[in-house]
Amino acid sequence: MILFSAATVSFWSYVLNTLIIFMSLLLIATVLIQRGKGGGLAGAFGAAGGSSAFGSKSADQFVKYTLYMFGVWVFLIILHVLVAKSDGRLNTKMKQDALIPPQQQL
Protein backbone atom coordinates (compact mmCIF):
# COMPACT_ATOMS: atom_id res chain seq x y z
CA MET A 1 0.00 0.00 0.00
CA ILE A 2 1.48 3.31 -1.11
CA LEU A 3 0.62 6.18 1.21
CA PHE A 4 2.64 8.91 -0.43
CA SER A 5 3.93 9.14 -3.95
CA ALA A 6 5.93 11.75 -5.75
CA ALA A 7 3.65 14.32 -7.34
CA THR A 8 4.55 15.67 -10.72
CA VAL A 9 4.84 19.42 -10.81
CA SER A 10 4.97 21.25 -14.12
CA PHE A 11 7.73 23.58 -15.22
CA TRP A 12 5.25 26.47 -15.14
CA SER A 13 4.52 25.89 -11.48
CA TYR A 14 8.21 26.43 -10.68
CA VAL A 15 8.35 29.54 -12.87
CA LEU A 16 5.22 31.00 -11.27
CA ASN A 17 6.53 30.25 -7.77
CA THR A 18 9.72 32.14 -8.56
CA LEU A 19 7.85 35.10 -10.05
CA ILE A 20 5.44 35.28 -7.11
CA ILE A 21 8.27 35.28 -4.58
CA PHE A 22 10.13 37.97 -6.53
CA MET A 23 6.98 40.13 -6.85
CA SER A 24 6.23 39.68 -3.14
CA LEU A 25 9.69 40.90 -2.13
CA LEU A 26 9.43 43.80 -4.57
CA LEU A 27 6.02 44.77 -3.17
CA ILE A 28 7.35 44.65 0.39
CA ALA A 29 10.28 46.89 -0.54
CA THR A 30 8.04 49.33 -2.40
CA VAL A 31 5.60 49.62 0.49
CA LEU A 32 8.42 50.19 2.99
CA ILE A 33 9.95 52.96 0.83
CA GLN A 34 6.68 54.90 0.53
CA ARG A 35 5.94 58.07 2.44
CA GLY A 36 4.31 57.52 5.80
CA LYS A 37 0.88 59.14 6.27
CA GLY A 38 0.49 59.64 9.98
CA GLY A 39 3.47 57.81 11.36
CA GLY A 40 2.70 54.21 10.44
CA LEU A 41 5.69 52.02 9.75
CA ALA A 42 7.86 54.99 8.82
CA GLY A 43 7.23 56.51 12.24
CA ALA A 44 8.09 53.23 13.95
CA PHE A 45 11.59 53.41 12.50
CA GLY A 46 12.09 57.06 13.45
CA ALA A 47 11.37 58.69 10.09
CA ALA A 48 9.36 61.87 9.83
CA GLY A 49 5.70 61.28 8.96
CA GLY A 50 5.60 63.32 5.76
CA SER A 51 8.98 62.55 4.25
CA SER A 52 9.95 60.03 1.63
CA ALA A 53 13.33 58.64 0.71
CA PHE A 54 12.97 59.99 -2.83
CA GLY A 55 10.99 63.22 -2.34
CA SER A 56 7.30 64.08 -2.32
CA LYS A 57 6.66 63.93 -6.11
CA SER A 58 7.97 60.40 -6.38
CA ALA A 59 5.75 59.26 -3.51
CA ASP A 60 2.70 59.53 -5.77
CA GLN A 61 4.52 57.43 -8.39
CA PHE A 62 5.29 54.78 -5.77
CA VAL A 63 1.57 54.49 -5.03
CA LYS A 64 0.85 53.92 -8.73
CA TYR A 65 3.68 51.40 -9.09
CA THR A 66 2.51 49.58 -5.97
CA LEU A 67 -1.02 49.27 -7.34
CA TYR A 68 0.26 48.01 -10.70
CA MET A 69 2.55 45.49 -9.01
CA PHE A 70 -0.30 44.36 -6.77
CA GLY A 71 -2.45 43.73 -9.85
CA VAL A 72 0.31 41.68 -11.48
CA TRP A 73 0.84 39.79 -8.21
CA VAL A 74 -2.87 38.89 -7.95
CA PHE A 75 -2.88 37.80 -11.61
CA LEU A 76 0.14 35.55 -11.00
CA ILE A 77 -1.54 34.00 -7.94
CA ILE A 78 -4.72 33.24 -9.92
CA LEU A 79 -2.66 31.79 -12.77
CA HIS A 80 -0.69 29.65 -10.33
CA VAL A 81 -3.91 28.26 -8.82
CA LEU A 82 -5.05 27.23 -12.30
CA VAL A 83 -1.71 25.56 -13.04
CA ALA A 84 -1.75 23.77 -9.68
CA LYS A 85 -5.28 22.48 -10.35
CA SER A 86 -4.10 21.16 -13.70
CA ASP A 87 -1.13 19.46 -12.03
CA GLY A 88 -3.46 17.94 -9.45
CA ARG A 89 -5.76 16.54 -12.12
CA LEU A 90 -2.77 15.03 -13.92
CA ASN A 91 -1.51 13.44 -10.68
CA THR A 92 -4.97 12.01 -9.92
CA LYS A 93 -5.21 10.56 -13.44
CA MET A 94 -1.76 9.00 -13.11
CA LYS A 95 -2.67 7.43 -9.75
CA GLN A 96 -5.90 6.03 -11.15
CA ASP A 97 -4.08 4.56 -14.13
CA ALA A 98 -1.52 2.98 -11.78
CA LEU A 99 -4.25 1.30 -9.71
CA ILE A 100 -5.97 -0.33 -12.70
CA PRO A 101 -4.40 -3.68 -13.62
CA PRO A 102 -2.83 -3.71 -17.13
CA GLN A 103 -5.32 -6.20 -18.62
CA GLN A 104 -8.24 -3.87 -17.81
CA GLN A 105 -6.75 -0.80 -19.45
CA LEU A 106 -7.99 -0.08 -22.95
Low-confidence residues in the chain, pLDDT < 70: 1-7, 35-59, 90-106
Q: DSSP class of residue 46?
A: T
Sequence spans of domains, the chain = 12-96
Segment 56-79, tens digit of pLDDT = 565 677 788 899 999 999 999 999
CA distances (Å), 36 to each of 46, 58, 70, 74, in order?
11, 13, 19, 24
Whole-model pTM: value is 0.63
Residues in the chain: 106
Q: Are 83 and 12 in contact (CB under 8 A)?
A: yes
